[in-house]
Structure 1
């Protein structure tokens, strides 16, 4: 592909169906719409690059009834661009073309183009995960539900060999959640199993610190987004007084003033979701600023299909993460795209002996 190559774009929409009611403090998810973007070189249509635009209801800045219409317009605009064959230049071009307010389109478009320039082999960059089949440690995710459902998930994850468990909290009775965490701690020490919790902003500003003190007694690694996003002063106060490290998640979405946010809140960790933050360059920028300030980070998927999950896993791998990532969402759906992605022994693997199902 030459720097002036003409690229044709199209997309496929799929309504993914959850295997169970996926509960969060913001409500229950049953289905999830994603848009698979295909990029082909006009002279070589047999080589296809695939990306995924997956706006998440209630979270994504670009989730709206008009999303599909805007996607069509962006792809039409993209067809009139002279695309580079340099990965870095492609990312810059996409960033210039797609507004900041449409982060999932940015990520889907740039990963489709990166896949295309790497030969349409579902590779977006050089990275140990894809190139060397080097697995990435991940956390086992425990979804909200009644006590028995959550207990069943906990037992399953521990049996599967996960040594990092992340439990969503904030929807059922707090005492029941404490009891479930105590159950894990009664079986495994902090050295054996790392525990994370994710409140998705469920705690009130007034009661958050008290709850964090209770949770800290269980030797947890961190809590994600304990209070709702948008109140930097309250979050700063919480991060300064907490006995439990705080990780910002929703707080980062839609924020252009990265340095100001990090310097104001001074969190212990941040969590990166490329689909929600605006793609590869925005994600890398957050990480660079965090590392300059001694702030920890990890990357997670945002309930994408395996096309998006594969791209995020490769991005995470290219940045050489030091702790478990949040990339274990591939088996959530009844109708996900079959892929070489496998999860076992607490890690996500890329198994090149398994084929990719063709998007349709």
Structure 2
């Protein structure tokens, strides 16, 4: 076993600017802070590994006021360790050395160190997305806003060739949201367009089942997090009685007893956001436990830049997904990093003829 020592770590902050006001049931996002983690050997500085650490406001366990200071302190600590060249061992070393309560930093270090080990090409492990340019089907995301804005997005996604549409709901009048779903179904059947909805915990336990029954009229594939996370008994009851399959999202954040949560709630699906869950290893463990219980899953980005999105796409590809993933966030920002990632025809592609912009 040989180890890697004298590695240097650094980070670069960028504030990404949304192309529009991104509405959720928790408020409107206009900007998004991300930190790109850089790792290199000072004796061979041309080979650089890049990762991304980007806690999400209102959701991430490590979204804290002094995050940048904490991140820099962790990176200084990382310079005192030796790192194994075996990727699997390296991932376990990160888990041992970075607290569970810093999930986005864990993920950023996983990205950066695996990228460095693999030659600094922004490839993290074997996967068809990067290695064979096999596109991944994704859902077209419809952001909250007034009815006209959401209708405009729906028409655009349908014209772009998406056959899976996901609507964020819970911010405008529920009747108007039903009208939007009715509009889609008036044009496309369940066989033509798969519909997902994401409530981001907007429903109360008392009203949730009634609303789910109304939504079910439109042949909905699944609903993400209909009620707020942490209401375990209420969520369990909903999962047993809902006419629409329920997918846990926020419910997974900060949970160490994964099996206990899945056994208590027994959802139909789970949504994996590696930035919020702690990275590759944590996400794969959630999937292993879910599959053992017959629970479905898919991967979703948490509004990362293209560096983080690339990593999540490669993780999803390595696990051979069978349904559309939530990886359509690359076009959200005015100042995202230019990359080989391209969304077309309802899929995300890795274009080898396109170059990465250098982070700065």
Q: TM-score range by the shorter chain?
A: over 0.9
Mapping of 1:331-346 within 5 angstroms?
331-346=331-346
Answer whether contact 1:246 1:267 (CA < 8 A) is retained: yes
* Alpha-carbon distance between aligned partners in 2 of 1:86 and 1:179, rounded to the nearest angstrom: 53
Q: What's 1:64 paired with?
A: 64
Structure 2 residues without counterparts, runs of 5 or longer: none
Q: What's 2:262 paired with?
A: 262
* Alpha-carbon distance between aligned partners in 2 of 1:324 and 1:59, rounded to the nearest angstrom: 23
Q: What's 1:203 paired with?
A: 203
**2:74 aligned with 1:74:** yes
Answer whether contact 1:6 1:83 (CA < 8 A) is retained: no
Q: What's 1:321 paired with?
A: 321
| 1:134-172 per-position Cα deviation (integer Å, ceiling 9, x unaligned) | 000000000000001000000000000000000000000
Mapping of 1:265-304 within 5 angstroms?
265-304=265-304
Q: What's 2:143 paired with?
A: 143
Mapping of 1:172-191 within 5 angstroms?
172-191=172-191
The number of residues matched between the two structures is 360
| 1:182-207 per-position Cα deviation (integer Å, ceiling 9, x unaligned) | 10001010010000000000000000
1:89 deviates by 1.0
Q: What's 1:194 paired with?
A: 194
* Alpha-carbon distance between aligned partners in 2 of 1:134 and 1:152, rounded to the nearest angstrom: 30
Q: What's 1:215 paired with?
A: 215
Tell which deviates more after alignment, 41-50 or 347-356.
41-50
SS at match of 2:202: coil
* Alpha-carbon distance between aligned partners in 1 of 2:269 and 2:84, rounded to the nearest angstrom: 35
1:301 deviates by 0.4
Q: What's 2:36 paired with?
A: 36
Q: What's 1:23 paired with?
A: 23
1:2 deviates by 4.8
SS at match of 2:308: helix
1:278 deviates by 0.7
* Alpha-carbon distance between aligned partners in 2 of 1:5 and 1:114, rounded to the nearest angstrom: 15
* Alpha-carbon distance between aligned partners in 1 of 2:46 and 2:145, rounded to the nearest angstrom: 45
| 1:221-270 per-position Cα deviation (integer Å, ceiling 9, x unaligned) | 00000000001000000000000000000000000111110001000000
SS at match of 1:23: strand
SS at match of 2:83: coil
1:85 deviates by 1.0
Q: TM-score, normalised by structure 2?
A: 0.99
* Alpha-carbon distance between aligned partners in 1 of 2:304 and 2:141, rounded to the nearest angstrom: 15
1:86 deviates by 1.1
Q: TM-score, normalised by structure 1?
A: 0.99
Q: What's 2:100 paired with?
A: 100
Q: What's 1:48 paired with?
A: 48
**2:89 aligned with 1:89:** yes
* Alpha-carbon distance between aligned partners in 2 of 1:340 and 1:129, rounded to the nearest angstrom: 11
* Alpha-carbon distance between aligned partners in 1 of 2:98 and 2:121, rounded to the nearest angstrom: 25
| 1:249-307 per-position Cα deviation (integer Å, ceiling 9, x unaligned) | 00000001111100010000000000000111110000000000000000000000000
* Alpha-carbon distance between aligned partners in 2 of 1:159 and 1:336, rounded to the nearest angstrom: 24
1:5 deviates by 2.8
Q: Which runs of 4+ in 1 moved over 6 A?
A: none
Structure 1 residues without counterparts, runs of 5 or longer: none
Answer whether contact 1:9 1:37 (CA < 8 A) is retained: yes
Mapping of 1:223-238 within 5 angstroms?
223-238=223-238
Q: What's 2:134 paired with?
A: 134
